[in-house]
Amino acid sequence: MITLGYDIGSSSIKAALYDIEKGKEKGHAAYPKNEMNIDSPYPGWAEQDPAKWWEAVVIATKELLKNTETKPAEVKAIGISYQMHGLVLADKEQNILRPSIIWCDSRAVQIGNKAFEEIGKEKCLKYFLNSPGNFTASKLRWVIENEPEIYSKVYKFMLPGDYIAMKLSGEFTTTATGLSEGILWNFENDEPARLLMENYKIPESLVPKIVPGFGEQCLLSKEASEQLGLKEGTPVTYRAGDQPNNAFSLNVLRPNEIASTAGTSGVIYGVSEEVKYDPESRVNTFIHVNHSKKLKRLGILLCINGTGISYNWIRKILFKPVIHDVNQTASYEEINKLAEQTSIGSEGLVFIPFGNGAERMLYNREPGASFEGINFNIHAQNHMVRAVLEGVAFSFYYGINILNDLAVNPKVIRAGLANMFLSDTFRKTLATLSGAEIQLYNTDGALGAARAAAYGAGFYNSFDDAFKDLECVGTVEPDSKNESEYKSAYEKWNNELKQKLIN
């Protein structure tokens, strides 16, 4: 028996087949091979055509089925992971009315800030656990204010994953988990966020039918089955945003477990059993995939903009000139080894990594990126490389301290063996400061969605059963022997950051 998972990203669409009986991936495909374009017609805007997502889903699915010689009837269920916080608008005939306003679009910031003041900080945090911010609801309000002709045709609004479910089934559906990420869910009353919707003048009729995150959500239509090469009636049994799904993929379902990613930007996603919010809005709280009325599970998400992009930048800046072919540069593996040859603390060199926009965890300040304490007689390439890795790890630990205030005290951090988690320097620094064991896995969002689809279809009796075959490929323990050196280096970094925030 096989399930199919999709990961609808802003750079590409990934698809994976999961063999339930073997507990392993059967195949993987991605399209396009180069990154999808993000259109920015005005500063701060970020849009994509949802039709391009569907086109990529069709191509990736056909490639996957062909390469694995999988028959349509073998696929028993479908799961969907998707880029969070986006807005897709459709009319009654399911025609898309405008490009999707995606997660990194910032046009609705002031709309969210205004609603936060009008509704009241205490009410917003009590009912929504978040400021309305620049999330899906605020983006819809922007359309109401600025594109009335388009808004007059809207039958339903959707998140990106809801759009894919619509294309698969011909039905408009959403989930409570998805609505919570759009700040469209009232945690206190366990219902859509009518208070915010009234402020934004969003009729509740625009909300699609709410279906469970796990379980039969909709069925594959005849039209979609013909396009994809799958069997008509195949159920869609799971849907979640990419960060909750990444946590699920890593079996992060219990309190005091953390899932982390460190790609271009970095994410720390912790699970709490308490319905809590950050009074200072440095993090966001959403419904986690295994949340229920009886068993509360909230996902607390902290995003750091300046992570992998910092390491990519230093790699290009420092190493491209020494390579004969100007289109090539040193590999990450090579520069990771260079960092490992350098002492903890980079001999006093400090790197502040916040050069990729305003950081929410720093109260939306933008301190920028910088090296502090450069000594021309001491510091060389290896010190700069290690300082960047340490600076990013320090920023993660800074964020974990914020989660500690919200009763998330990690005993374990789980991550995919990818990006900055390939660096022993980065991993050991983070493990030692946090005091948590880091567990590394070979999994990704598409495979996680396929595994979740198997659970949603009833092929597993419990989450423990679903993850019995998930293999940990490596662990990193805190370095107790050198703990004082790591802590001293962090304090120096933290003091430099405080000075920059003061200035």
Residue 74 resides in a domain = yes
CA distance 449 to 463: 13
Q: Indicate whether 139 belongs to any domain.
A: yes
Say if residue 326 is in the same domain as residue 241. Answer: no
Model confidence over 375-424: pLDDT tens digits? Answer: 999 999 999 999 999 999 999 999 999 999 888 889 899 999 999 999 99
Q: Where among 207, 226, 250 does a domain terminate? A: 250
For residues 38 and 123, membership in a common domain is answered with: yes
Q: Is residue 80 part of a domain?
A: yes
What are the DSSP E strand ranges found in 190-297? 191-192, 209-210, 214-219, 235-241, 257-262, 266-272, 284-287
User: Do 242 and 321 belong to one domain?
Assistant: no
Rg of the chain's alpha carbons, rounded to an integer?
A: 23
Q: Say whether both 340 and 197 belong to one domain.
A: no
Residue pLDDT, tens place only, 76-131: 999 999 999 999 999 999 999 999 999 989 999 999 999 999 999 999 999 999 99
- Whether the CB-CB separation of 184 and 196 falls below 8 Å is answered with yes
Question: Which helix H or strand E contains 416, and what residues bound it?
Answer: strand 412-416
**Are residues 364 and 229 part of one domain?**
no
For 126-170, how does the pLDDT look when each residue is reduced to its tens digit (9 = 90+)?
A: 999 999 999 999 999 999 999 999 999 999 999 999 999 999 999
Length of the chain: 503
* Structure tokens belonging to residue 357: 């926009």
Q: How many domains does the chain have?
A: 2
- pLDDT (0 to 100) of residue 225: 98
Q: Is residue 464 part of a domain?
A: no
The segment with the largest mean pLDDT, out of 157-161, 277-281, 331-335, is 157-161
In a domain, 443, yes or no: no
pLDDT tens profile 4-59: 999 999 989 999 999 999 999 999 999 998 889 999 999 889 999 999 999 999 99
Q: Which of the listed residues 250, 271, 289 is the one where a domain comes to its end?
A: 250
DSSP string, 273-313: SS----TT-SSEEEE-TT--SSS--EEEEEEESSSHHHHHH
pTM recorded for the entire structure: 0.91
222 and 355 fall within a common domain: no
The residue among 210, 231, 250 that closes a domain is 250
d(CA 347, CA 378): 8
From CA 204, how far away is CA 231, in angstroms rounded? 34
> What confidence tier does 329 reach under pLDDT thresholds 50, 70, 90?
confident
Range of the domain at 358: 308-406+422-436+472-502
Q: Do residue 223 and residue 318 come from a single domain?
A: no
Do 225 and 369 lie in a common domain?
Answer: no
Assess whether 239 and 326 both reside in one domain.
no
| Domain assignment present for 301 | no
Identify the CATH number of the domain in which residue 171 sits. 3.30.420.40
315 occurs within a structural domain: yes
Does residue 273 form part of some domain? no
C-alpha–C-alpha distance, residues 288 and 267, integer Å? 15
In this structure, are 211 and 318 located in the same domain?
no
* Confidence band for 323, pLDDT divided at 50, 70 and 90: very low
State mean pLDDT over 295-301. Answer: 93
| Pair 210, 338 in one domain | no
Mean per-residue pLDDT for 470-488? 97
Whether residues 22 and 142 fall in one domain? yes
> Which amino acid type is present at position 43?
P
Q: What is the pLDDT of residues 425-436, one digit of tens each?
A: 999 999 999 999
